[in-house]
Amino acid sequence: MSRLTVTVGAALAALALVPTAVGFNPQVAGLQIALRQHGLYRAQIDGVQGPRTMRAIRLFQRRHRLAVDGVAGPRTRAALGPHGRPLFGARVIRRGMRGYDVGVLQFLLRRHGLRTGRLDGSFGAQTAAALRRFQRRAGLTPDGVVGPRTARRLCALRACAWPRRPSPVTTRTHRIVRGETLAAIAGRYGVSVRAIARANRLDPRRYIIAGARIRIPGAPAHMMTRSFPVRAAIDYWSKVYGVDPRIVRAVAWWESGFNNSLVSAAGARGVMQVTPATWDYVETVLVGSQIPATTSGNVHVGVAFLRQLLREFGGDVRLALAAYAQGPRSVRRHGVFRETRQYVMGVLALSGKL
């Protein structure tokens, strides 16, 4: 291999965005820009969901009579209007468009040292010129359009990943036998309870009737991942996110006994007992892509959320664990409840034994 080839290869590799801060997620920049458009966020657009971003989200939610949980889920993003959707990577972006993804595009171009004008989520002349300069530098056709190839060169992080084309979905029928639960059926076929409930218009909190037939939606190919044993999944995702695996194992054992079929009365599911709201928050804000409803996926969501709580509470493990059980907003507003303190003590005691 020639020296020139190595130099060119290194230059192109440098075009793949690398995070420079803990908790960095380019998708968060789109949220910050949307909040700025509403006059609620005046800090730096940095792609890190810190205290100022959280305060802006909560203030926006209060003003629009939404649940004030600090989570920029689908309802909050819909209330943000045109700048609240879609996420970067959900569509091809062209000049004249505006939206959440355009704001992320402008942020990424600026991170690559290119001038885009204001970070306002509107794809105008300056953004188009900056994009074409980037494409020429990256050896791409300078068409001023962001498709999968340009998006990957702009940002190689998982949060920016362009979704693959889904495989055809197959559906099968299952006859419910006495004593079965939706969780058990979901585990048998390798799909989520939520998917079965949605396919059959069922309330997952209610009883199902023995003898009834329900449709089992198949999982698209891109949703299938290697099946990890619980401990292997915990070790893997703990390493990815830099969280102490002993703490994660203790949380998983305390929450579910390593049982991924467990569904709580509050709707929390799986090994890490993740609620639907938390799953959505992790997918849309922390990770930026869909996470499969498998054992490994459940652990992934739980560990990513725990890492975020550790960051929000300055690395204080006790407060992060309390927030995992009680909710971060509740901990900040009311302090740690007595039953939560018992939870934290129990998890910490287990962490040295599992």
**Which residues are annotated as catalytic?**
255
DSSP state of 287: I
Amino acid at 336: V
Q: How far apart are CA 128 and CA 126, in angstroms?
A: 5
Q: What angle do CA 226, 231, 232 make, to 5 degrees?
A: 40
Q: If you write DSSP's letter for every residue of 47-83 in order, what string do you get? A: SB--HHHHHHHHHHHHHTT---SS---HHHHHHTGGG
Q: Which residue from 265, 274, 262, 266 is spatially nearest to 303, judged by alpha carbons? A: 274
Note the maximum CA span of the chain: 70
Length of the chain as a residue count: 354
Helices (H), the chain: 3-13, 26-37, 51-63, 74-79, 100-111, 125-137, 148-154, 182-189, 193-200, 230-241, 245-256, 276-281, 295-312, 317-326, 328-334, 338-351
Q: How far apart are CA 178 and CA 192, in angstroms?
A: 20
Q: Are 21 and 48 in contact (CB under 8 A)?
A: yes
DSSP state of 160: G
Place of tokens 């996926």: 297
User: What tokens does 200 get?
Assistant: 């059959």
The distance from CA 191 to its chain's CA centroid, rounded to whole angstroms, is 19
